[in-house]
Amino acid sequence: MLEGSRSFDIIWGSVTATLCLSLGAWVLFSWLRERGKGTPSIFGAAIDPTRQLQFAWGIFAMMMGGTNFGCRFIDHRYLEGVHEGFFGLTLLVFAVLFPRMLWLQVKRSSSMPAESALAGP
């Protein structure tokens, strides 16, 4: 299954933790930066008009990063399905947040005026 050697567990936990923490920080930074400007949530104004869903998903991603990190460093072979469960939750975080954040980043980059992009320092 998803189990490997102890080294694999530590490396895999570190990688997934870093990815989740990075994605969670990106979502929360976006939430904080855009909060006062009246712009819609990453999920859109119809789904998340108060931006609470975005905040909750950002916190969830940060928590998954922490548990992914801790889960792989703590030896718990006697608990069946723990790593598979965390792997599934990590995939859920990325399936929900990453495509939307990437789309918003691309949209934001393409809406920059061409003159400012070509202007030098």
Kindly report, residue by residue over 34-86, the tens digit of the pLDDT.
777 777 788 888 888 888 888 999 999 999 898 888 777 777 667 677 777 77
Q: Is the pLDDT of residue 1 over 70?
A: no
Residues in the chain: 121
Query: What predicted TM-score, i.e. pTM, was given to this entire model?
Result: 0.70
One-letter amino acid at 36 equals G
Question: Comparing C-alpha atoms, which of 40, 93, 35, 41 is closest to residue 62?
Answer: 93
pLDDT (0 to 100) of residue 112: 63
